[in-house]
Amino acid sequence: MPSPTPDARAPRGGRVAGSYLQPLLEAAAARGVQAAALERAAGLAAGALWPLPESLAADDYVRLLDVAATLAADPHFGLHVGERFKLGTYNVYGLILLSCRDFGQAFEQTMRYEQLAHDLGRSALRVSDGLAHYTWHCHYGPGRRHLTDSVFAGIRVFGNWLAGVTLPPADLALSHDGGDPAGHPEYLRVFGALPRFDAPANTASFDAQLLAWPVPNADTGLYPVLRQHAEQLLQLRERASAEAKAGISQQVQEAIVRNLAQGQVRLASIADELKLSPRTLQRKLSDAGATFQQVLDQARFTLARDYLRQPELSLVDIAFLLGYQEQSAFNHAFKEWAGINPGAFRERG
């Protein structure tokens, strides 16, 4: 099964926390589909899902939702996954929600910290004319019914739990087609009202007064401590992402440098040296915000500036060392990089 394609808003290399994966595995198991069967059907390595991993690629999670729905013969699998969401599903930020003074603060913290649980989409809240409009922007397009259903069913179930009562149904609009109309009563059961389908966005609208509803039994004294912890986790996450991005680019650049003088460097040969397939290498570089050509050009430009400071090397020699067959190709490339030709650069010292 092909990998789902995230849109331009999706973070590259997005992940889903293991705790967020748990309801999917539980819903599948309740319908007789075990983790090993999901792994095989989704093309994952044996043991990738159980024991529960610390995290999973967001693309794999989205594919698993569709695979599990098919294996379980469950047209409303997303709804049934969302119904199993609990406090722990949301990872650290679930505890923050439990420490919020009211629902307005809980929505604010969701927008800030939901990325600690997943990179599947992002939340936004707008208040206008006495109505609050909560929108979830899915990173995987409008047609991902099971993904969108799981998110909004989870919000409904967790919101009721957080409030200690069944909340009034929201005016819910979903961007997917809703599937077979014969199954729409299941939406009514879960949400308390039938959503409008094929909407421009995934939005739940409700009386803005709900934002002032207190969270019963909230331990607001823990809020500053939990928020500080969540901020530290965000910083660690951003740092790890930056290091991972720098890592693959550095590996590719080092491999390029080792091979330049031996002939023209190709993506396939560098991938082979790094024991990766060309497609995997391209994906890893894309996740790092780079392309093979960009890394190659950067490596050549860095080396070229060093070589040009060595008077014993002619321009022909330098072109050869950089893997060019003709000096003219090197001259053209260097002018693109530096704005001047290599001879003028050398004269400047």
Q: Supply the CATH number for residue 68's domain.
A: 3.90.1520.10
Which residue, 185, 218, 251, sits at the end of a domain? Answer: 218
Number of domains the chain is built from = 2
Range 246-250, long-range pairs (CB < 8 A, 24+ positions): 246/288, 247/288, 248/284, 248/285, 248/287, 248/288, 249/285, 249/288, 249/290, 249/295
Does residue 211 sit in the same domain as residue 319?
no
Q: What is the mean pLDDT of residues 19-27?
A: 97
Shared domain for 73 and 144, answered yes or no, is yes
Considering the domain architecture, whether residues 292 and 191 belong to the same structural domain is answered as no
User: Does 210 share its domain with 245?
Assistant: no
10 in any annotated domain:
no
Same domain assignment for residues 184 and 256: no
What pLDDT band is residue 284 in, cutting at 50, 70 and 90? confident
* Range(s) of the domain holding residue 146: 15-218
Whether 167 is covered by a domain: the verdict is yes
Question: What element of type H or E holds 55?
Answer: strand 55-57
For residue 21, how far is the Cα from the chain centroid?
Answer: 14
Tokens of 278: 């060309």
20 and 88 fall within a common domain:
yes
Whole-number Å distance between alpha carbons of 88 and 96: 11
Task: Report CA-CA distances (Å) from 21 to 56, 226, 248.
Answer: 8, 22, 27
pLDDT band at 243 (very low <50, low <70, confident <90, very high): low
> What pLDDT, on a 0 to 100 scale, did the predictor assign at position 10?
58
Burial per residue of 104-133, b for 16 or more beta-carbon CB atoms within 10 angstroms, e otherwise: bbbbebbebbbbbbbbbbbbebeeeeeebb
Assess if residue 228 is contained within a domain: no
Of 72, 99, 84, whose CA–CA distance to 19 is shortest?
A: 84
Give tens-digit pLDDT for 70-111. 999 999 999 999 999 999 999 889 999 999 999 999 999 999
243 shares a domain with 212: no
The structure's pTM equals: 0.73
Give the domain-ending residue among 159, 184, 218: 218
**pLDDT tens figures, 215-224:** 999 999 999 9
Both 213 and 252 in one domain: the answer is no
Q: What's at 212, amino acid-wise? A: A
Say whether both 138 and 196 belong to one domain. yes
Question: Which range, of 16-20, 140-144, 256-260, 336-340, averages the lowest pLDDT?
Answer: 256-260
Asked whether residue 229 is domain-assigned, the answer is no
Taking residues 125-141, what's their average pLDDT? 96
Residues 245 and 283 reside in one and the same domain:
yes
Q: Give the Cα separation of 230 and 219 in Å (integer).
A: 16
Of the candidates 116, 137, 3, which has an alpha carbon nearest to the alpha carbon of residue 61? 3
- Whether the CA torsion 274, 239, 282, 306 is positive or negative: it is negative
Residue 3 domain flag: no
* 232 domain-assigned: no
The string of pLDDT tens digits covering residues 314-338 is 999 899 889 888 999 999 999 999 9
Query: Contact 81/24 with Cβ under 8 angstroms?
Result: yes
Residue 225 falls within a domain, yes or no? no
Query: Of 162, 184, 218, at which residue does a domain stop?
Result: 218
Mean of the pLDDT values across residues 123-151?
A: 96
What's the longest Cα–Cα distance across the chain?
Answer: 81
pLDDT at 311 over 60: yes
CATH of the domain at 332: 1.10.10.60
Looking at the fold, whether 200 and 254 belong to one and the same domain comes out as no
Is residue 8, in this structure, part of any structural domain at all?
no
Residue 35 and residue 124 in one domain: yes
